[in-house]
Structure 1
Amino acid sequence: MRYFTEEASAEVVNERMGPSVSPRLSRIMSSLVTHLHAFVKDVELTESEWGVAIDFLTRTGQICSDARQEFILLSDVLGVSMLVDAINHRTPGQATETTVFGPFHVDGAPEREMGANISLDGKGETCLFEGRVLDVDGRPIENALVDVWSDNEDGFYDVQQPGVQPPFNNRGIFRTDKDGRYAFRGIKPVAYPIPDDGPVGRMLAALGRHPWRPAHMHFLVTAPGCERLITHIFVAGDAYLTSDAVFGVKETLIVDFKPVVSPSERWRAHFDFVLAPATASRA
């Protein structure tokens, strides 16, 4: 065993790892230590700066609760969430691209009839969402489950406003028909800021970055024999498409919301989802 030196700092720390550590944990921690020490040396981190970092991480943990996960927010705004998603979902070229899950999904949303309206608070401009769920060969997938959720007209999800919004507002699960078709009514989503009243928000402000996400509808699409798809569709023309605070926008997921003249909706959004086979979903 060597003594610690500035020049060999990472090597000395990694040498202390025990012989029975699993190969995967050894690889992860060795790489983490190597890159972390290289970062400290690269910027020649001062003791006061390291103190600020420790305080930031402490406050990030302290603000976390059952309703708020500030570390996920930190991962999101640093682009790590999207990078992990990209590495783990290298799907065939025909398959719909994935994006971040986000913190506002709720288990147990009700399954609703085809065409039902998920907007329960009566706010917002009604939009018909429709399309099909297909496999990579273009065949329709019957009985696929399409789980959807979005913010309301004020830019809040129901879980952010308990007692204000009805439970399961702007949420629902739909089952595709024999042609792979899904359809439901909701509202045209609006842009909203991620929570920026904590350490992550203050970090964004210090970096000259805004906290806004472009308008989007969330989708979680599942079917037997297919890889689970977590994605959004984004409203074309939104001011924040190229500066999404969490880097979630992909060009293939931008959709033209078309105005319509109808007594039941003002907008229409069409999008077909293509699911990758489960056996080919991991690179």
Structure 2
Amino acid sequence: MRNLNQHTITKAVIERLADTQDERLKEIMTSLVQHLHAFAREVELTEDEWFKGIQYLTATGQMCDDKRQEFILLSDVLGLSMLTVAMNNDKPAGCTEATVFGPFHVDGAPHYADGDDVANGAAGIPCRVRGTVKGLNGEPVAGAVIEVWQADAQGNYDVQYPGLDEPQARGVLKSGPDGRFHFRTIVAEAYPIPSDGTVGELLRATGRHPWRPAHLHFMIKAPRYETLVTHVFRKGDQYLDSDAVFGVRESLVGDWLAQPDGSYTLDFDFVLNPGK
């Protein structure tokens, strides 16, 4: 087809997708083209603005490596990550809610026994975390694989420290026969997401702060149950209502309790949804 113009090009592009074998891919690409073209028309996008957009996405990709995923951060601050989580994790009442995965999960975290110190030297106030993993009907889930990770007192994850000898403030443990678990770590503190890249540039341009409320990451897996990816947020944190990545849910707010020796405790129970 020749002599396409701004009124006919969208239809022409969609027609080129007619031979796509994967029906789901065809559906997604058709909708993507329609919405992208509609967006460009709605804002009357200039060539210079589109080129700057290409430059921005290129720079975002150049920020990514095996320890940092700037595109996940971009998805997070635009609310797209949490929208996807919400659409795909509509659980029955009583189940622990899911939230964003975040960009600092690392495969191969060290395994610990119940009660061990997963902080492994990370800076922060000592804290003991206790809880249970249960099913929706209240049954204890024994042997659930519980992966935890968090930032230290400076607001950094271990992967943000070049040359660190071994992982800190992350680990994998299992629930006991009664579904219970406990481990030692450090108190969760609020921290800013990395703002030295393209995401930080966007936040500054739109007058937004980069802060996340204090939280612990959890990923819990068990046979016959859906995998749960969630956080536990610290009660009273000043950023609970303005989380940079829109991840806070009231049901996920826990109370870190001060102890006479200066340490803290957190008790939090998780309820898994039965697998399909």
TM range (shorter): over 0.9
For residues 93 and 202 of structure 2, the distance between their equivalents in structure 1, rounded to whole angstroms, comes to 36
Q: Deviations over 1:77-100 (max 9, x none)?
A: 111111111122122222111111
Other-structure match for 1:116: 116
**Which is worse superposed, 133-142 or 47-56?**
47-56
Other-structure match for 2:233: 234
Residue 253 of structure 1 pairs with residue 244 of structure 2: no
TM-score normalised by structure 2 residue count: 0.95
Superposed counterparts of 1:1-283, under 5 Å: 3-121=3-121, 123-164=123-164, 166-262=165-261, 266-279=263-276
What is the identity, as a one-letter code, of the residue corresponding to 2:22?
S
**Which is worse superposed, 168-177 or 227-236?**
168-177
Partner secondary structure for residue 167 of structure 1 = coil
Asked if the contact 1:77/1:247 (under 8 Å) is kept, the reply is yes
Unpaired stretches in structure 2, ≥5 consecutive residues: none
Q: Deviations over 1:86-137 (max 9, x none)?
A: 1221222221111111121222222222211112226211111111000000
Q: CA deviation at 1:210?
A: 1.0
For residues 110 and 13 of structure 1, the distance between their equivalents in structure 2, rounded to whole angstroms, comes to 49
Q: How many residues end up aligned between the 2 structures?
A: 276
Asked if the contact 1:132/1:272 (under 8 Å) is kept, the reply is yes
TM-score normalised by structure 1 residue count: 0.92
Q: CA deviation at 1:151?
A: 1.0
For residues 39 and 204 of structure 2, the distance between their equivalents in structure 1, rounded to whole angstroms, comes to 23
For residues 235 and 161 of structure 2, the distance between their equivalents in structure 1, rounded to whole angstroms, comes to 27
Q: CA deviation at 1:248?
A: 1.2
What is the identity, as a one-letter code, of the residue corresponding to 1:273?
F
For residues 87 and 3 of structure 2, the distance between their equivalents in structure 1, rounded to whole angstroms, comes to 37
Asked if the contact 1:3/1:12 (under 8 Å) is kept, the reply is no
What is the identity, as a one-letter code, of the residue corresponding to 2:58?
T
Unpaired stretches in structure 1, ≥5 consecutive residues: none
What is the identity, as a one-letter code, of the residue corresponding to 2:15?
E
Q: CA deviation at 1:5?
A: 2.7
What is the identity, as a one-letter code, of the residue corresponding to 2:236?
G
Q: CA deviation at 1:66?
A: 2.2
Asked if the contact 1:79/1:246 (under 8 Å) is kept, the reply is yes
For residues 117 and 222 of structure 2, the distance between their equivalents in structure 1, rounded to whole angstroms, comes to 23
Q: How many percent identity over aligned positions?
A: 50
Asked if the contact 1:130/1:181 (under 8 Å) is kept, the reply is yes
Q: CA deviation at 1:187?
A: 0.9
RMSD after superposition: 1.6
What is the identity, as a one-letter code, of the residue corresponding to 1:211?
P
What is the identity, as a one-letter code, of the residue corresponding to 1:267?
Y
**Which is worse superposed, 126-135 or 86-95?**
86-95
